[in-house]
Chain A
């Protein structure tokens, strides 16, 4: 198993922490992982993205230009990364704020309206966990229990009371992702 993922959106959406939780979940399942953020001026209020690789083998390049899965959370990232999905790969996106929807026919496209679902829960902060849940429904590369362990590792202990809420958000994501096209 070798899964190469880009998660891209606005700074503040929890893109980097979602990647970190995914990477930690991989470690909990004895996988090799890498997490490479975009950093610097583009993060300040602009786009943020992170490349996460989860693999049975040692990770070679942490920086890639094509991906098995792209998780896209705003229009700028759609413009930048729709073309970076490998043929036969997967694109998952949140329709919120998207004006030009993905058009590719050689990949499988899913949609999760995570911003809307997060607003329904009343805690918009769980947005990224809804997205992560949606992704794991399509690519169950790590078990849910290991994701929970990954969250435990990523969150300071004083925030561990939020774990049930995050677990609920993961499940909302799993239940609400839907297919847009068939490859």
Chain B
């Protein structure tokens, strides 16, 4: 029997990490995601599951604690919001280079700089196109409900360990701060030391035994030819991820003639816009990417053969729109509608924009 609760997105995420069997959370407070650390400190999982909850001295310290924990083959995570995630980028690059599994939550706020504490989606480029230095990719999941904030820590750990890669959960201030119904499932127990050795001793620093070589975890490969080989190996892995892990959701697409593409809270706004347009007889639909990296290019390309035009809605000046344009290969018009700096688009203005584009304005 699943437990039903009314929770904030940030609280649901925190509960989700405990129930996903996380070994440690390292964080540093920043609005609009401070409830993650607050919730963990209130619930005190260190007294029940033994999960470590630690407020580090900075975001940089927290991400490097994640590096250390991940090296040991443990399920570790951190969370922050935009400026804090920028600080973590060096660590994320190192984690990706060293092929370490971890979960990182970004509850995005408006930027650039310290920006505003209101919701935004202007960290898309940073999340899916790198962010840190070097040739690497994170797996990026975009929750659009409080339920997904609860579900994605577990999914994130599964993917992170399956591919030994950082998983970034790209949320925003709306999803973090809003309350919705959440169904809480049974807890996954934390791995025992024996299970960690069984699952991860082929790469993690679980203690060398006489029957195997040392496991060395590093992102420093000084010889160019070997570094190139390592990066090519990473990209072969990203190809496998792309072949197997793309996730998206279609909303009223079956008979759609006009399509919205939006993720996270913008996708929620667009659902309402679809309803408003359909009340006026416009056959609108929505495709919501759940994985932003890898991106559901084929699903969008397939729909581009059915619909007349696309409107990409983002709380940014236009970032994901570039990936939609690449997906449709310029075969149909792709327009962007964005509000930024912490301003949230209303369902009506999004619907009005689509109407204008349909009329050719």
Query: Which residues of A are interface residues toward B (Cβ below 8 A)?
Result: 20, 23-24, 27, 32-37, 39-41, 59-66, 153
Contacts A27-B181, A33-B180, A36-B177 aside, 5 further interface pairs with beta carbons under 8 A come to A35-B179, A40-B32, A63-B269, A64-B346, A64-B347
Interface pairs A-B: 7 shortest CB-CB: A60-B271, A65-B346, A61-B272, A35-B179, A60-B272, A36-B178, A61-B269
Chain B interface residues (CB < 8 Å from chain A): 4, 6, 31-32, 116-118, 173-174, 177-181, 265, 268-273, 275, 344, 346-349
Measured CB to CB, the closest approach of chain A to B204, in angstroms, equals: 39
Q: Could you give 6 example pairs across A and B, Cβ below 8 Å?
A: A20-B179, A33-B180, A33-B181, A35-B179, A40-B31, A65-B347
**B348 closest partner in A (C-beta):** A65
Q: Is the beta-carbon distance between A61 and B177 smaller than 8 angstroms?
A: no
Closest-CB distance, B351 to chain A (whole angstroms): 11
Q: Which residues of A contact B346 (CB under 8 A)?
A: 63-65
Residues in A whose Cβ lies below 8 Å from that of B4: 27
In the complex, what's the smallest C-beta–C-beta distance from A122 to chain B, in angstroms? 31
Number of A-B contacts (CB under 8 A): 71
Bound-complex Cα distance A20 to B8 (A) = 11
- When chains A and B are docked, how far (Å) is the Cα of A45 from the Cα of B346? 26
CB distance from A68 to the nearest CB of B (A): 14
Is the pair A20, B268 in contact by a Cβ cutoff of 8 Å?
Answer: no
Kindly name the residue among B118, B179, B272, B348 whose own CB sees the greatest number of chain A CB atoms within 10 A: B179
CB distance from A34 to the nearest CB of B (A): 5
Is B180 touching A34 in the complex (CB atoms < 8 A)? Answer: yes
A33 to B31, CA, bound (A): 24
- Does B174 contact A36, Cβ atoms closer than 8 Å? yes
On whether the beta carbons of A66 and B348 are closer than 8 Å, the reply is yes
List the A side residues contacting B348 at CB < 8 Å. 65-66
* Closest A residue to B31 using CB positions: A40
> Contact at A39–B347, with CB atoms within 8 Å?
no
Hey, which chain B residues are within 8 Å of A27, CB to CB?
Answer: 4, 6, 181
Q: Is the interface of A mostly helix, strand, loop or mixed?
A: mixed
Please pick, from B6, B32, B116, B174, the residue contacting A62 in the complex, using a CB distance under 8 A: B174
- Would you call A35 and B178 a contact (CB within 8 A)? yes
Report the minimum CB–CB distance from B277 to chain A (whole Å). 12
| Chain A contacts for B270, CB-based, 8 A | 61
What's the nearest-Cβ distance from chain B to residue A149, in Å?
A: 12
| Closest A residue to B179 using CB positions | A35
A60 to chain B, nearest CB (A): 4
Using Cβ atoms and an 8 Å threshold, which residues of chain A touch B6? 20, 23-24, 27, 33, 35, 153
A23: chain B residues at CB < 8 Å are 6, 179
Structural contact, A32 and B181, CB atoms closer than 8 A: yes
Residues from chain A with Cβ under 8 Å of B177 in the complex: 36-37, 39
Q: Which residue of B lies closest to A36 (CB)?
A: B178
Chain B residues, CB < 8 A from A33: 6, 179-181
> Are A39's CB and B268's CB within 8 A?
no
- Give the contacting residue for A39; candidates B117, B180, B272, B349; CB below 8 A: B117
Q: Which residue of chain B has the shortest Cβ distance to A21 in the bound complex?
A: B6
Complex CA gap A23/B7 in Å reads 11
Q: Are A40 and B117 in contact (CB under 8 A)?
A: yes
Q: How far, in whole Å, are A141 and B304 apart by their CA atoms in the complex?
A: 42
- The answer, among A34, A40, A61, for a CB contact under 8 Å with B347, is A61
Give bound CA distance, A138 to B195, whole Å: 59
Q: Is the CB of B181 within 8 A of A61?
A: no
Q: Point out the residues of chain B lying under 8 angstroms from A59, CB to CB.
A: 180
Cβ contacts under 8 Å, A41 to chain B: 117
- Inter-chain contact A63/B265, CB cutoff 8 Å: yes
Q: How far, in whole Å, are A48 and B40 apart by their CA atoms in the complex?
A: 26
- Docked Cα-Cα span, A63 to B175, in Å, equals 11
Residues of A within 8 A of B116 (CB): 40
Closest-by-CB residue of A relative to B177 is: A39
Q: Are A39 and B181 in contact (CB under 8 A)?
A: no
Contacts of B179 in A (CB 8 A): 20, 23, 33-36
Please state if B344 and A63 are interface contacts (CB–CB under 8 Å): yes
Residues of A within 8 A of B347 (CB): 60-61, 64-65
Contacts of A61 in B (CB 8 A): 268-273, 347
Most buried by A among B31, B174, B178, B346: B178
- Nearest Cβ on chain B to A61's Cβ, whole angstroms: 4
Kindly provide the distance from the CB of B94 to the nearest chain A CB, expressed in whole angstroms.
Answer: 33
Inter-chain contacts of B181 with A (CB < 8 A): 27, 32-33
A residues near B118, Cβ cutoff 8 Å: 40
Write out the residue numbers on chain A whose beta carbons fall within 8 Å of the beta carbon of B344.
63
Q: How far is the CB of B15 from chain A (nearest CB, A)?
A: 16
The distance in angstroms between the C-alpha atoms of A65 and B345, with both chains bound, is 9
- For the complex, what is the distance from the CA of A71 to the CA of B346, rounded to whole Å? 20
A35–B185 CA distance with the chains assembled, in angstroms: 22
